[in-house]
Amino acid sequence: MLDMIIGTYKRKRKELKNATPLTYILGRVIRGLFTILVSHFMYENVFNQTVSDSFIENSGSLDYMTFVVIGSAVHVLGVSTMMSVGRGLISELRMGTLEPLLLSPKNKIAYFLGLMVEQVQRSTVEFIIVLLFGVLFGAKLSFLLSIKSILALSLIIISFFSMSVLVAAMMIYTRDTYVTQNTLFIFMYFICGISFPISYLPLSLQAISSVFPMTHSINLVRYLASGTLLYSNWVTSISFIVILSTLYFMLGYGWYRRYEKKILENNLS
Amino acid sequence: MKFLVVMYNEAKKQHKNNYISYEQYFSLLIWPFILLCNSYYSYRPFITEGFMSYFTTRELIFFLVTGHVCYICFWSMVETAWDLEYERYSGTLEVLFLSSANKLAVIYGRALSAVIQICWLYMVICIGYFLLIGEVNFSIILQSLLVFLVLCVSSVIWGGLLNTIFLFSRDATFLVNILDEPMVLFSGVRVPIEIMPIWVKLISSIYPLTHVLSFVRTLFNSQSNSLDIRQLAILSILLIMTVIATAKLVGLAERKNRLSGEFNFY
Amino acid sequence: MLSAKNITKTYNVKNKRGLFKNNENSQVKALKGVNLEVQSGEIVGLLGKNGAGKTTLIKIISMLMEPTDGSLTIDGIDGLRSYEKAKSLINVITGGERNLYWRLNAVENLEYFGSLYSIPRDILRKRIEYLMKIFELDKYNDLPVERYSKGMKQRLQIARGLINDPKYLLLDEPTLGLDVDIAADIRNYLKFLAESEKKGIVLTTHYLDEAEELCKNVSIISDGEILESGSIQSLKSKLSMTPKTNIKMTYESKDEFLKYLSSMNIQSNNLNFSQDKKTLSCKYDTDMLYKTNLIHEFIKAGARIVDIRSEDYSLEDVVLELLA
């Protein structure tokens, strides 16, 4: 299993470095940076740094820029992982390399893990760049330099990995990335509280947001930032992350395994 | 005439090849709506007791709806540009350049294929708008058609430029990110340009979407409700310059690929 | 006539050592002064090992790539300066499954590719009908190309290559991986295109018997240079690979036999006498054998012809000899 993880990691890394070295680095960072910029201009130029009381109440007393930067950075981390790992199989199908992968006796979890390891390497750089940019615009992020935060981020990455296995199964089943990317990721961007507290949403949408690990991941990091470590909130967030990750992983991998034989049939016929 | 025929056939091929399911058409309505909701809720942290320093709630909704409808039209062009990467490694880009077809016509044909999405979205928005205001008269229909024409022409020309960038290299996604992502900020889709620093205003003036939005918002604004000819003129000049730049870039891209033989490198 | 003269192509290759490390640039000469000519109605074979420069030359002739040096004219049109004008006269057919839109069916693919050449609609429709029929694709029009077998995709590739009715066709391994019967059909069709429709064809292939069957002239390329070119017969002559005849004879008396040959001034140094001193074998150039009436002299010398066989060198022998 380890050799497949390492093999997949090396192959993906070389592929991206050779084929698209600039997009490899700059791609998602630009998106994260401009999300912060838009929020900054709204905060500074439109509203002269005035926020509502409801925001102060629902943000755990975090200042606006810290609130938004945390959301953007975790969002960049999440979408990067889900896009990279989630698109793995469909990309192999399009390149014509899915057959050898399916025909190999190795456990496909190792393949997904290999993609994840490669992506984490990139996501860490993207995450740090977005955070540094956020600091330039006044976000207070020194709390991230702690063991607690590193552990929390590690848990968050695992949760994104679990969801990406489900996304991968979805994409290979539908043989399409368009609907998943455009609808699911944009929906998550709206509903996971990236640039505003979830409490602003109608109750039904708040309930839906709780099924996404990203919501709880962002909550967890914001709780770490605000210093108001309400025991129930912290434990709730971690519990949700662990349960949802397990559920999504089992669902995704189970769906993939059931469909794997059909992919082989379709490909070899 | 040949130019238009090539453009039409490219658009037809793109549409048949890419829009293969009803789910795709359905998603074309869903995600712009979600983006719009996200933008509205992003303003909520600043709303205090129904008052905001710059907008009223009604003005904010008008601002965001116009911004997002126009932005989506431009954004849909990005998909056609990304698709060139696939054409490169499937070998069909090579076949395209093997032919004697006008490459500029092909580029604009690709962008034109996304107009079908725009038609669908725009039609639904217009129906919603007519139902909301409760009246449909000749003037409103004419305004809607004019806006649609301006949107289509501007976004197709913008789409042509994005497609041309992808002709240069398979590693062009980051260039599109540099051009496209800032457009949300610099074109006044979510935040008004008028109150931005001067450097933002200067950058915003190079985006066709900025002028489209300004024109559309002036036209549909219940207080002004006028045809901003000046803005239309600036937009026209900018679009002509974009077409000239695109034509030059297509030639450069073809030259570059002919020197390196990279039409089908993947 | 399609004429490529002194074609040279040098690539600048960046040997990437990493994102932030210095790149080492090197130059690779893919083609070194290559000449190729194709007349209407002629099939010219371009043969060589992988990496010899065949595909690079095809890309330059099809004007997809610019040479570093050299000239290209197609029916008098400068292919390097006026390439947009010249492109309507040529087309390229590759082997394999690329260069098609897999989500479209055959007619949709052909309609699109036809539209790139500004062919009038009614002519295009008739041409598509004709091509679909002769390549037996009309039965499968409801299927998208992704459901086609390899043979069907290749037939569609050829149909695509003929959509603009080009004067010159460049075929890059057109029968690669195809069934025997389909490959035979394609070869027959290529002969028809050359003989009846007077198309000039450049064919690259690794199947040398195919090249031998189809090509009037061949050019053998290696390491970016043309080693030899000409008709297959002339190449064989050049390399002294002319048809030979093996003769096996029996004789009564060796001395009598050799005495007679000597009296007729016939050389005997290539006669191989067997150990049992009853038989001998020899090999002569077939052409020479008939011209000099040598067999008749052997009989007069007392020999009895037991076996006579002719052997000819194949194109494979020629290529192997040149590449060695």
Query: What's the pLDDT tens digit per position in C90-130?
Result: 999 887 677 888 888 899 989 988 888 888 889 999 999 99
Residue A195 with chain B: CB contacts under 8 Å? 38, 41-42
Q: How many domains does chain C have?
A: 2
CA distance A254 to chain B (A): 24
Residue C85 and residue B100: Cβ atoms within 8 Å? yes
Cα–Cα–Cα angle for B49, B50, B51, nearest 5°? 95
Return d(Cα C22, Cα C174) in angstroms, integer: 41
Residue A200 and residue B178: Cβ atoms within 8 Å? no
**C23 within domain boundaries:** no
Residue A197 with chain B: CB contacts under 8 Å? 45
Residue C16 and residue A18: Cβ atoms within 8 Å? yes
Residue A23 and residue B174: Cβ atoms within 8 Å? yes
Give the pLDDT of residue B24: 66
Return d(Cα B37, Cα B24) in angstroms, integer: 20
Which of B12, B18, B101 is nearest residue C116 as measured by Cβ atoms? B101
Residue C85 and residue B6: Cβ atoms within 8 Å? no
Q: How confident is the model at residue A42 (pLDDT cuts 50, 70, 90)?
A: confident
CA distance B47 to chain C (A): 47
Q: How confident is the model at residue A269 (pLDDT cuts 50, 70, 90)?
A: very low
Residue C19 and residue A18: Cβ atoms within 8 Å? no
Q: Is the pLDDT of residue A245 over 80?
A: yes
CATH code: domain of residue C118: 3.40.50.300
Return d(Cα C169, Cα C184) in angstroms, integer: 18
Model pLDDT for residues B84-134, shown as the tens digit of each residue: 877 887 888 888 888 888 999 999 999 988 887 778 778 888 888 778 777
pTM over 0.95: no
Q: How confident is the model at residue A173 (pLDDT cuts 50, 70, 90)?
A: confident
Q: What is the distance between the terminal CA atoms of chain C, rounded to a whole angstrom?
A: 32
Which residues have a Cβ under 8 Å from the Cβ of A100 and sit 6 or more positions away?
none
Last residue of a domain, one of C238, C262, C288: C238
**C22 within domain boundaries:** no
Residue C99 and residue B261: Cβ atoms within 8 Å? no
- Checking C128-132 for CB contacts under 8 A at 24+ apart, the result is C128/C163, C131/C159, C131/C162, C131/C163, C132/C106, C132/C107, C132/C159
**Together in a domain, C250 and C230:** no
Q: Looking at residues C174-194, what average pLDDT do you find?
A: 87
> Tokens for C80?
């390097």
Q: What are the Cα distances from residue C18, in Å, to A28, B262, C12, C21, C26?
A: 21, 21, 18, 5, 16
Q: Is the pLDDT of residue C202 over 90?
A: yes
Give the pLDDT of residue C193: 92
Count of all residues that appear for chain C in the document: 324
Residue A17 with chain C: CB contacts under 8 Å? 16, 18-19
Last residue of a domain, one of C238, C262, C281: C238
Which residues have a Cβ under 8 Å from the Cβ of A242 and sit 6 or more positions away?
A155
Q: Does C103 touch chain A (CB under 8 A)?
A: no
Give the pLDDT of residue C71: 93
| Greatest extent of chain A over all pairs of C-alpha atoms, in Å | 64
Averaged pLDDT of chain C: 85
In DSSP terms, C7 is beta-bridged to: C34
Residue B5 and residue C84: Cβ atoms within 8 Å? no
Model pLDDT for residues B152-180, shown as the tens digit of each residue: 999 999 999 989 988 887 666 677 777 77
Q: Does A145 touch chain B (CB under 8 A)?
A: no
**C321 within domain boundaries:** no
User: Which residue of C99, C105, C123, C168 to mutate against B (max B Cβ within 10 Å)?
Assistant: C99
CATH code: domain of residue C252: 3.30.70.100
Q: How confident is the model at residue C244 (pLDDT cuts 50, 70, 90)?
A: confident
Return d(Cα C54, Cα C32) in angstroms, integer: 12
Q: Are A213 and A157 in contact (CB under 8 A)?
A: no
Residue A45 with chain B: CB contacts under 8 Å? 191, 195-197
Among C221, C195, C188, C214, which Cα is nearest to C61's?
C221
Return d(Cα C246, Cα B143) in angstroms, integer: 93
Return d(Cα C230, Cα C208) in angstroms, integer: 15
**Together in a domain, C197 and C291:** no
Q: Are C240 and C322 in contact (CB under 8 A)?
A: no
**C162 within domain boundaries:** yes
Q: Are C249 and C218 in contact (CB under 8 A)?
A: no
Q: Does C16 touch chain A (CB under 8 A)?
A: yes
Residue B191 with chain A: CB contacts under 8 Å? 38, 41-42, 45-46
Which of B6, B12, B91 is nearest residue C99 as measured by Cβ atoms? B91
CA distance B236 to chain A (A): 27
> Tokens for A209?
């947001």
> Tokens for B240?
């002509």
**Together in a domain, C198 and C233:** yes
Please give the single-letter amino acid code of residue C198.
K
**Together in a domain, C111 and C146:** yes
Q: Where are the alpha helices (DSSP H) in chain C?
A: 54-61, 83-86, 106-115, 121-134, 150-161, 180-195, 208-214, 232-238, 254-263, 286-292, 294-300, 315-323
Torsion of CA A167, A170, A176, A180, to 10 degrees: -50
CA distance C147 to chain B (A): 15
Give the pLDDT of residue B50: 46
How would DSSP label each residue in A19-49?
H-HHHHHHHHHHHHHHHHHHHHHIIIIITTT
Return d(Cα B167, Cα B163) in angstroms, integer: 7
Q: How confident is the model at residue A27 (pLDDT cuts 50, 70, 90)?
A: low
Residue C16 with chain A: CB contacts under 8 Å? 17-18
Q: Where are the alpha helices (DSSP H) in B44-137?
A: 57-90, 92-98, 103-113, 115-133
Residue B196 and residue A45: Cβ atoms within 8 Å? yes
**C175 within domain boundaries:** yes
> Tokens for C241?
């690979």
Q: Are C206 and C283 in contact (CB under 8 A)?
A: no
Q: Locate tokens 């695992």: which residue?
A: A158
Residue A46 and residue B54: Cβ atoms within 8 Å? yes
Among A14, A185, A4, A18, which Cα is nearest to A87's?
A185
> Tokens for A47?
């509203």
**Together in a domain, C176 and C265:** no
- Tell which wins on pLDDT, A71 or A53: A71
Give the pLDDT of residue A190: 92
**Together in a domain, C200 and C78:** yes
Return d(Cα A165, Cα A112) in angstroms, integer: 7
**Together in a domain, C207 and C265:** no
**Together in a domain, C142 and C279:** no
Residue of chain B minimizing CA distance to C13 = B260
Domain hosting C289: range is 244-313
Instruction: Give CA C41 to chain center in angstroms.
Output: 15
Please give the single-letter amino acid code of residue A197.
P
Residue B14 with chain C: CB contacts under 8 Å? none
Q: How confident is the model at residue A18 (pLDDT cuts 50, 70, 90)?
A: low
Q: Locate tokens 């002036």: which residue?
A: B218
Residue C64 and residue B92: Cβ atoms within 8 Å? no
Please give the single-letter amino acid code of residue C181.
D
**Together in a domain, C146 and C262:** no
Q: Looking at residues B238-263, what average pLDDT do you find?
A: 89
Q: Looking at residues C153-171, what average pLDDT do you find?
A: 91
Q: How confident is the model at residue B77 (pLDDT cuts 50, 70, 90)?
A: confident
Return d(Cα B231, Cα B210) in angstroms, integer: 10
Helix (H, G, I), strand (E, B) or coil at C148: coil
Q: Is the pLDDT of residue B54 over 70?
A: no
Q: How confident is the model at residue A60 (pLDDT cuts 50, 70, 90)?
A: confident
Q: Does C19 touch chain A (CB under 8 A)?
A: yes
**Helix axis angle, A147-174 to A213-226, nearest 10°:** 160
**C14 within domain boundaries:** no
Which of B9, B92, B261 is nearest residue C101 as measured by Cβ atoms? B92
Residue C56 with chain B: CB contacts under 8 Å? 261
> Tokens for A181?
């990317």
**% of residues, chain C, pLDDT over 70:** 95
Burial class (CB in 10 A: 0-12, 13-18, 19+), B80: buried
**Together in a domain, C282 and C194:** no
Residue of chain B minimizing CA distance to A65 = B45
Residue of chain B minimizing CA distance to C144 = B17
In DSSP terms, C77 is beta-bridged to: C74
Which of C66, C103, C108 is nearest residue B258 as measured by Cβ atoms? C66
Q: How do strand C200-204 and strand C43-48 relate by DSSP bridges? A: parallel
**Together in a domain, C76 and C91:** yes
CB pairs under 8 A between A and B: 124
Q: Are A240 and A214 in contact (CB under 8 A)?
A: no
**Together in a domain, C252 and C210:** no
Give the pLDDT of residue A10: 78
Q: How confident is the model at residue C16 (pLDDT cuts 50, 70, 90)?
A: low
Residue A201 and residue B54: Cβ atoms within 8 Å? no
Q: Is the pLDDT of residue A230 over 50?
A: no
Residue B31 and residue A186: Cβ atoms within 8 Å? yes
Return d(Cα A44, Cα A53) in angstroms, integer: 17
**C256 within domain boundaries:** yes
Among C173, C153, C160, C146, which Cα is nearest to C97's?
C153
Q: Does B171 touch chain A (CB under 8 A)?
A: yes
Residue B79 with chain A: CB contacts under 8 Å? 178
Last residue of a domain, one of C185, C220, C238: C238
Residue of chain A minimizing CA distance to C20 = A21
The neighbour count for residue A111, using CB atoms within 10 Å, is 22
Structure letter (DSSP) for residue B137: -
Q: Are C76 and B112 in contact (CB under 8 A)?
A: no
Q: Are A176 and A62 in contact (CB under 8 A)?
A: no
Q: What is the ipTM of this complex?
A: 0.85
**C53 within domain boundaries:** yes
